Amino acid sequence: MALKESEAIVLRTYPLREADLLVTLFTRAEGKVRGVARSAKKSKRRFGGALEPLTYVRAHYEDRERQELARLDSFEVLESPLAAEMSYPRAVALGHVAELLDELLPDREVNDAVFRLALSVLPALRDTDVWMPITYFELWMTRLMGYLPELSECIMCGGGLNGSRAYFHVLVDGLMCKDDKRLASSEMSASSRSMAAQMFRSPIESFAGQAWTKANGADLRKFLTQTLQRHIEKKLVTAGMLEKISS
Ligand SMILES: [Zn+2]
């Protein structure tokens, strides 16, 4: 079969037999593709430096008859996350973006909006400040997957929430007013709700240079993580790791 070529983002790699790797790629041309990189650990020429999560590559691969896994021929690095200094928070943040893409995207389904989102978040993840890009990515990803409820009204009574307090609960699909909130609900601050609205109107570059700490948008990220985990029916490994980062 013919060799294909596509821009792609490396999501994950798993060791497979001796020197081979199983690689999950998010390709622009075909969506998520899984394939085997034969002798990848030895072949610097074909895959050198291109196997870190969130490396942006030009991938060459081919499908094999009656085989689910593609044969990965070679990757050419277009942009590597290793070009900037790697800190632990940054490594976890890159892993988080990769995990969300891997868990939320179906195999072999083109999604150019998500591909463009991922590409726009990559440069923002060069810095040590990870919370703004993580929040931006989670928010847009939840929306592009069709999982984001209306944030300006109570999911129970339909009442408007702008100007009043809003709450969320791990088992409920949207925000609730103070009369409808359940026991053990968390509050979503007005500032996080207005930040979300701003993020839907503006490209990620317009938030660059804002000093974020972990506290910024923490309630929004908790709500988004709960929403995503409810839909995929499992815990996100990297969400727990992000939770443990101290600043
Ligand atoms: Zn209500």
Question: Would you place residue 17 in the very low, low, confident or very high pLDDT band (cuts 50, 70, 90)?
Answer: confident
At 186, list the tokens: 């968390």
Q: Under CATH, what is the fold of the domain 88-244?
A: de novo design (two linked rop proteins) (1.20.1440)
With beta carbons less than 8 A apart as the criterion, state whether 36 and 20 touch.
Answer: yes
Residue 220 Cα, ligand 1 centroid: separation in angstroms? Answer: 19
Residue 184 Cα, ligand 1 centroid: separation in angstroms? Answer: 16
Tens-digit pLDDT profile for residues 162-207 = 999 999 999 999 999 999 999 999 999 999 999 999 999 999 999 9
- Where do the domains of the chain lie? 4-83, 88-244
Tens-digit pLDDT profile for residues 73-83 = 999 999 999 88
Angle at 236 between CA 196 and CA 28, to 5 degrees: 70
Residue 185 Cα, ligand 1 centroid: separation in angstroms? Answer: 13
The chain-wide mean pLDDT, for the chain, equals 94
pTM above 0.85, yes or no: yes
- Closest to 15 measured CA to CA, from 33, 41, 48, 34: 41
Q: Determine the CATH number of domain 4-83.
A: 2.40.50.140
Fold identical between 4-83 and 88-244?
no
